[in-house]
Structure 1
């Protein structure tokens, strides 16, 4: 075994420093800026401008464009993760994809800045999802490559905090830049600049050319199926993440309508902003602390279980305590639970990866559990609200789904 191979594929034991964690977190946040500046503000503005010539409403056009991008995202993350696993470049396995993905994402954002119709808008957004998922897959795979198991909670916490800040910064740039085109340019610049400290200052681990598996399309495609029978811990961990994220997506999907039609709030748009701010503050307060605590006690499952239970209780409160104060309390408790879940569940996922060689691909498959609920939630929520009891029934179902996810964590055997 060569030294390069040992460094790249062995389980890491040397703790990473604060500089490495900060640089990787900044890169992660920069990617989320590139995603959420468009998602929160810019795509909606373009849909409003382009819809009159399409025969669709602005809501339908936006749903069509973002839905196409979601499909690209579901496929791109595991594919680029697998490609980075097999990369033998001098700059390492992950860095080339971080560079190419962020640069490609910036170019795609500039394409959106110059879009003059719905087809260019859709193409640009699909390219953003394609390229930034390449960078994101490499960033997340760098954690199990470099971070020892008992440091992954705190690193996952800082990555989660950077993700939240990326959403805020992206929204701010899109709002304050001075127009849709300028907003896209600002997000593009931040996306590139934000990855530079990691790319320029930190050496990636290299995979020796002779250690890359022989290439064939059959083996490459077959590798995306991770048998729950062969890897039961990974299967249960994936299902847990999917269910808790689905519960959270169901909570957020119709929040505006819940405030307007269920609570009869005088200003539902402002209400959503207030609830989002409350949720974000409590999430930020716990996302790093939860990871640090988990690392110190050397356990993951209790944190994931109780954060899932806490989120389920808060979701049920939206159904049983249908008042504005109840909604504020629920938003705060959801933030506490989801903050702990974000950091500790990420660490748990890296602990159940089957092989070092396929870390990027396996994390990409796991990340499908983040994106798929965004597709499944509308299909599940619409009939519940319309035919099966309205918003109270929706939030009770969401609470039950989240509680099921928390309970199933107990089926994972290889992690404490």
Structure 2
């Protein structure tokens, strides 16, 4: 049974490192290709329309990923096999994404890229939702924060590592994609090996009819949904505030702080290093702190407040030092938040039998926040300038922290 580890007394290191490797297996290739190699390929094919095409791809990807995440997560919840309910989907997702990556090296038209990237989102989400559900399936409750921390460390490593690898292949996109394909195979298979097969063959799966069928593939409407939606909205505000800065950080240096492109690039590099170091450091300690003090809700709320302070700091002075302070505070906040957030999400699930589907819905806060944040920022910048978007992001975090503290099910 997949929940047999709930009675285990030893810390499940294999599960933790399996989650870490499995996450890096899809996250590093996805971020490296999505943020750097895909735009580079688009620039080669259609340099005059690249900005509009990248925006169109992001929108399409968000819509497809939203639908795929819910459906594939729900199907995973209802899978029985000798390899468990999650592993078959993750393995199938790996094979499917590799096929999409391969054909991405062959396409030579924008329409081909759009079709390929839409199919890639379907394939990718076969891995995303089931992987997170391992925390609900296998992590003993007393170690849930620490296991979630492995996931958080991976989240904080994924972005800079993916970008660093991809930046070496901007002029040779196909070779970069091949490197990421090898990376994905190795890390995903190691992750699956470490987690183990966890056979659930023989597990009873209730047949779905009428309203039950609709509920299995939709947002939860029954059970203890109050805390669930408080967590979802709190996460949405946190991510939105983060991407108010992230989406415009280059322009903050050039347009708000009036730096040259060369100085902006230099300061962006310093900021990225601060974000990485602070993020990984606090992601490492967040989970163990949550388990020790039994304070998931408090740590998530504090992280959200610290993020709010961080995003507001550059409003004090249009100088690079304020962005470095932001990087330190927000890096620490993201590290701590990512390390305990998934444990909080698992705890507020309204129905453990639909863990992957509901965690997929929680994950929508990430996707929507990455779009909602820049939209809010662009509206404020257009109306009253860069300076006021910074405290606005801080207020979003304050509201998010209050919502998290309103959760009753979690200490």
**TM-score, with normalisation over the residues of structure 1?**
0.92
Structure 2 runs not aligned, ≥5 long: none
Q: Which of 398, 402, 406 is residue 393 of structure 2 equivalent to?
A: 398
The answer to whether the Cα contact below 8 Å between 1:314 and 1:334 also exists between their aligned partners in 2 is: yes
Aligned to 2:206: 213
Shift of residue 355, structure 1, vs aligned partner: 2.2
My pick for the range that moved more, 212-221 or 126-135, is: 212-221
Structure 2 contact 297–405 (Cα < 8 Å) conserved? yes
Tell me which residue corresponds to 2:90.
98
| More divergent stretch after superposition (190-199 vs 221-230) | 221-230
Matching of residues 2-401 of structure 1 within 5 Å: 7-8=1-2, 12-14=6-8, 15-52=10-47, 57-177=49-169, 179-209=172-202, 211-216=204-209, 219-223=212-216, 224-227=218-221, 230-266=224-260, 267-387=263-383, 389-401=384-396
Question: 1:379 deviation in Å?
Answer: 2.5
Contact 2:151 2:338 in 1 (8 A): no
2:12–2:139 CA contact under 8 A, matched in 1: no
User: Structure 1, residues 139-172: CA drift from partner, whole Å, max 9, x if none?
Assistant: 1001110001221212111112123323333223
Q: Secondary structure at the match of 2:7?
A: coil
Structure-2-length-normalised TM-score: 0.93
1:108-165 deviation line (CA, Å, top 9, x unaligned): 1111111211111112222222111111111100111000122121211111212332
215-224 or 34-43: which moved more?
A: 215-224
With over 3 angstroms needed to count, the CA separation of the structure-2 counterparts of 1:228 and 1:85, relative to structure 1, is closer
Aligned to 1:4: none
CA contact (8 A) 2:219 2:358 kept: no
Cα contact 2:230–2:403 (8 A) shared by 1: yes
Say if 1:327 and 1:169 are closer, same or farther in 2 by CA, change over 3 A. Answer: closer
Q: Give the unaligned 5+ runs of structure 1.
A: 1-6
Cα distance in 2 for residues equivalent to 1:201 and 1:337: 29
Number of aligned residue pairs: give it. Answer: 406
- CA 1:210–1:200 in 2, change beyond 3 Å: closer, same or farther? closer
Deviation for aligned residue 1:308: 1.1
Aligned residue in 2 for 1:3 = none
